[in-house]
Structure 1
Amino acid sequence: MTMRFMDGGGVMGAMLRAHPWTATPLGASAQWPAQLKTLVGVMLNAPQPMFVVWGPGQCMLYNDTYAEILGGHHPALGQPFLEVWYEIRDDVEPIMARAYAGEPIYMDDIELMMQRHGHAEETHFSFFYAPVRGDHGEVLGVFCACNEITREVLAKREHAAELDRLRDMFALSPSFVAVLRGPEHRFDLTNAAYLKLIGHRDVIGLPVRAALPELEGQGFHELLDRVYRSGEAHSGRAVSVKLIPQVGAEPQERMLDFVYQPMRGADGRVNGIFVEGVDVTEVFIQAQDLRESDEKFRSFSRLAPNHMWTSRANGHLDWFNDQTLRYSGVDIEALVGDGWARLLHPDDVARAASTWSTALHSGANYEMEFRIRRADGVYRWHLVRALPVRNARGDIVRWVGTNTDIEDQHADRDQLREINATLERRADERTRERERMWSSSPDLIAMIDPQGIFLDVNPGWTSALGWDREQIVGKRIDGFIHSEDQVNAQDALARATVGVLPTFECRVLHADGSHRIVAWTAAPDERAIFAFGRDITADRERALALAMAEEQLRQAQKMEAIGQLTGGIAHDFNNMLASIYGSIQLMQRKLAAGGQDGFEKLLDRASASAQRAAALTQRLLAFARRQALETRRVDVCALIDSLEDLMTRTLGPRIALQVRRAEDQWPARIDSAQLENALINLVINARDAMPAGGQLTIEVSNHRFDSPHAASQAELAPGEYVTVSVCDNGAGMSSTVIKRAFEPFYTTKPIGQGTGLGLSMVYGFVKQAGGHARIHSELGRGTTITLFLPRDVSQDGAETAPAAPRAPKDGAHAGGSILVVEDEASVREVIITVLADLGYVYAEASDAEVALALLDSRAHFDLLISDVGLPGMNGRQLAEIAIGKRPGLKVLFVTGYVDQAVAQNGLLGNNMQMITKPFVIDDLAHRIRAMLRGETVSPAS
């Protein structure tokens, strides 16, 4: 009788209905419990694999889809479950026992090794075991709904293995590789080369903008967005990018070849970007024209620039990338297994195979070089590396390898070996040359240990000093060095020991007992110090004789210059005295004859001669640096402009003159007449240095020395200066000439063409004014002489000249009592005559002693006029005592010279003035009147 709960069910429904259940522990199906009937009805009509295990005997009932899972174990209706699945009994018996104990059990993946098709196979299932209870809660059986997921599990495993293989290839790849996911371009994968490129920063999971902020503004974010949106790959060659090489560092520019390759999901949409590239910075710098292959900008397997391959654990090669296939020109079937050996150079096969076999047995990394045939038949050297891939237990499961073309490097090594061989040959030749030099050199060569003991000497010691080798080797250097030179010799030895290369001279003992002067150089070696000496005794004697001859010549030139100078001075003074004396004699004759006709002309002639004599003494004082300077505010640029025509005529047509001025040029405090003379002197010297013509530049500028150190380097006091530089492009001076250029009587011109006084007078004038002169010159490149003139810091305004002196009218009583102290009677007489003519009351004294007696008297004095160079007590000392006796007394010094700018350096105090001899009577009158009135005038006139 057909049971309704067994209706349907396909093949298994029919088999259930026809099965002799009475012969089983389940008995007649009509007597089955309601729970079993219900489960059978559900199972037969369900599309999912299901089975029921019932009763203590665990009899099986199942549907059509589960019959497919049983495979060769079908049919198994009514059979015990554990006997049907005998091969997996150890795996499922504990699970079934737990279910019969009332525990529902779910597993999403259980791995079982089944033999349902006559052989062992790995299978995977997800299932749910539900205990079926009776009316009293007892477990009657187990209901199971399951799915076989073997195919999915194995597919995932293969996918994971493929990912592992790709990661291994990434790690081995010399290219940098990264995988970015999603529209934010989050890092999903990076290899070691990429991490090195970005400074080993932890970027996994971060968007590119957050991980690499320095890319902002360089266009890469926008480029990634465009590739992601369009789905179109982008490649770049030698693209500049600024990356931070390590945390805290500044971005550095690198040059990259790279490709952005869009990655698509199962739906065909872009879900990420594959980034691959090479840092070509060094290659780009060394050779920008290196060709980069476009092939490395395709898919990953085609992008890799190297040959890449994998092998099973036993060494059976089973995969090659496209680059390998393109290089070899054969398909992959020809290379798998041991086929790769066909590409090797015949001379390299045995060595490569042996090394590969050793790596397979030892598990060590595989690395060697051999030649691989290219598709065109050319063999090229490659560096071949392979790493073992191990599982969690440490067993080698695969090998991943790369081949890198090193043909060029190999050729370089061959070339380097050839170069080394050449260098060795040259070294041998130089060694032989050194041996020849050692034996044949007339100079002294010695090997000395750090303790100063001779290890060896060359034959030059015998020829130069008369010592045999045996008399020197093993002895200390002290025994051969003059006692006064031993400290220097020991110091040189010590410096040579630490790597300093000294040069020094010392006197070395000759075998005949004399000493010879030897110039030494020393150089350290690994074992000893090599000393090289040359006998310069004869050179020194010649140099000494030459120096003495030069000094004698210089003295002769100096005496010649002094003779010319004194002769010229005597001649000029004789002319002036002849004019003065002649005029006086003519006036005496006219007076004797009772007439005065022509007196005015004779007086003018005598006065002019006296003024010329005064000017001559001022020039002599300038040479001696003892003249009184008439310093005032001077516009240096205006002064040069006034001299420009004269300078141009002096230089002649073959020398171009250029004047450069600074903006806002400061005024100087200087004697304008002396500055004119100095500039003309420098211009004439420059002209003589450029006989073939050239360029002369006069440059005026401002200069400030704020620190004492800077000022001391320029030999000036800190302050502000106007600089005047006279630059020529003539013959120039040597360092020796520069050192002596300012010396009096020193000249490089032939005898009779120069006195050696010009630059000395310029230097003396500038130093006396509180400035400095400096020379910069190079032989053949010209000379620059710079004058540092003190800046005038008075109120800004036009250059001022002293007010014209005004004498009181004849017979006018100026008012005032004056004491005149002068040891020269004729000068004293002139002064008191002037005072008398001016109407002043005066007293006179020939020395300080008489003057002090007058000052101790009751006589009233408003002004003291005193010579500086009085016999005994000088004028300055007298003035101090006089002011002590009579506070407020004014003092006017009269002197024929000023000792080192005495007007500004201690002689003049408050209420003191000075006038130099010879003086103009009107100047003297003006000075006296101004001082008595309390007016301020130039301190030196």
Structure 2
Amino acid sequence: MKLNSTHKANNLLFLENSGQMGKLIREMDWDNTNLGPISNWPVSLRTTLAIILHSSYPMFLFWGDELICFYNDAYRPSLGKEGKHPAIGKRGKEVWPEIWDFIGPLINDVVTTAKPVSYSDQLVPFYRNGRMEDVYWTFCYSAAFDDNGNVNGVVVTCTETTETVITKRELQESERRLRTMIAQAPVSIAIFQGKDHVTELANSLALQMWGRREDEVLGQPILEAMPELKSQGIKELLDDVYNTGKTFSTSEFPVQIMRKGNLNMAYLNFSFEPLLDTSGNIEGIMALGIEVTDQVISRKGIEESEKKFRLLADSLPQFVWTADPEGNLNYFNQSVFEFSGLSQDQLINKGWLQMVHPDDRKNNFRTWEDSIATGKDFSLEHRFRRHDGTYRWQLSHAKPQRNDDGIIQMWVGSSTDIQEQKIFLDELEKQVKERTAELLELNESLKKSEQRYHLMVEEVQDYAILYLNPEGIVENWNTGAEKIKGYKADEIIGKNFSNFYTKEDRKSGLPKRLLGLAAKKGKALQEGWRVRKDGTLFWASVVITAVHNEKNEVIGYSKVTHDLTVKKESDDALKEKQAELEQKNIELQKMNKELQSFAYISSHDLQEPLRKIQTFASRIIEKDHDTLSENGKYLFKRMQLSAERMQSLIDDLLAYSRTHNLEGDFERINLNLIIEQVKQDLSEELLQKNAIIETDKTCMVNIIPFQFKQLFYNLISNSLKFAKPEEPVHITIKNEYVLGKLLEGEYFQEDTKYCHITFSDNGIGFEQKYSEKIFELFQRLYGKTEYPGTGIGLAIIKRIVENHYGVITAQGELGKGATFNIYLPVDD
């Protein structure tokens, strides 16, 4: 191929306003090149370059026998950094050696035939940005003619499509993963298109649940593929979702399905959800479901078993009763009704404490509450009133029934008459006291000393106390550790404490995680199986505490282990005298395990007897005021005050129990409306305290309004209650939106937006170390005489926040007020 030159007008007008590449061409020394000075360039070259340099579309030119390279500003970014730029004036083969095997033949074809060549999304990897890169192009090679009309070069019009190609591949891969996820989902998934509900997709679980093969349903209206569904209401449900766009969901829906030629009854949990096209119109329905036939049949079997057990329990002479996990009694056998003369309605509505002797009720309530709080077995001797008005001693036992995860599901209890045994024991105790009174008095001091000594030794021996270095190596060993774990000191010191853990725990990294938790939090608590020297297992309660030096660096860990495997019965004397009774209790406990009944006795059932106490006390004061002594009046006043405190406690307990359920509908509402309602309710109290409440523009949140009214009522009431006497109350309520990823704490989701409510006052405050304790039930930091209350208000607040999937924290300083931070997730 030979370069033909035609010398025309000697000017550089074609390079004016031609960008950086035009400037580069103008500044280059062309005199020593085959092209020669720009003034000698042929008109065809200058014209072609004028078109290229003034185009906003990426263009490249190979010119002459040596295929000299030219390109415009739009093409320049495609060459990247640390690559081929500047390539203007260089030979084509010199600039593109790595791809010349591909583009060289293309250029030759165009020059030879004058026919254009084009490609779409073609991979043409070349060197740029300091490395070889895979680059995709859509381009066209077309002939460039000289002044004589002969092909003298190639014009490349191109655009880089690398991002488009990669995006297409990612979309294809995303669709593949989505279909794979649907196919492997743990629930049945199907998609029906159009008003005829044609099956477009069904995963393996859906086909299994339907009893159909894929080729029997895909592309077919589901009601034609499964005609047995037509008369069972499924068509109406599908039509309603398709026509209204409302999601339908149900549980334990009974439906007959043809499987392997037989019509079988199945129970399904499923939902129909409308699918919308890009215009928002309904184009189909997605069905999600899971079969629960086995669970429904199993539950019905349990209900039948429970019915039989109730018949058995009603035939027993002992009292048999059950309670829910919160301690509310919900079942009594027939013996209870026959003994008390009370009906089931009377026991349920007025409470079981009416059977208990008044002198025993306080201890009864305290012991029962302790068992509910700790999960310990309940055991108590107390007196029950018989239908003739006499009281008889009963021995009551109750055990928690736990599920496989150790969570208490119910309490099963029994009460046995021990009136005769109690009379005998009381008489025996009286005689022993009379005969040993003098000896007890003389030796009381020595006995207390011995008890303290033996208790100390017993506690030390019952706890394995050891010291670990930062890597978990045992450095110290006590007698209790030898007793519990079986190793002597010289056998274990210098070895890692992971030797005490099971193979599974070591494999999962539990020992290392516990040390990490202790280093981070200061303390790690855990219960689990541990291994003795002889290979036997014991259940251990473990506390690992990080030990720090003066620079607050972790220098080791103290580890305390308590063996909880065996529980020794404390009252051997009682067991010996009541062997026969214990045997009956054991048999009764075996039967009690079958009880599965749950019901509800709410806190307000206690209010009726309390109202009677208040009413009768008021009547006595009104009618017999003059006949009562001063001491009698004082005692009645004390009784009324106690009843009022009990009424307040019951009201707070009732309010707290109501917060355990999400009563009411969630509404999207401005919090200022709630705050204004509470300010109206507390207007007199706010006026008395000269209180000022400042609020700013609040968040819009989804809440249960009456619960949040209770929340702000309690917060403002607390500020009024714990105000400084000499200062007006100043309350500030601020709000802001904040992203979860900016918040510290494991309770926050990074991709969730929260409404942060800050409630501050200038009251008496509290010490920061009580910032978590104040949210516990019945917790008070000040005496009742200083600040009245039940210690439930903040527990209610925390429960309400948790009902809304939120988080609440408290900050305080004595004498400087308190601040409560509430974080509520916001649904955009």
TM-score where L is the length of structure 2? 0.32
* Higher-RCO chain (CA-CA 8 Å, sequence separation at least 6): 2
When Rg is computed on C-alpha atoms for both structures, the one with the higher figure is 1
TM-score where L is the length of structure 1? 0.28
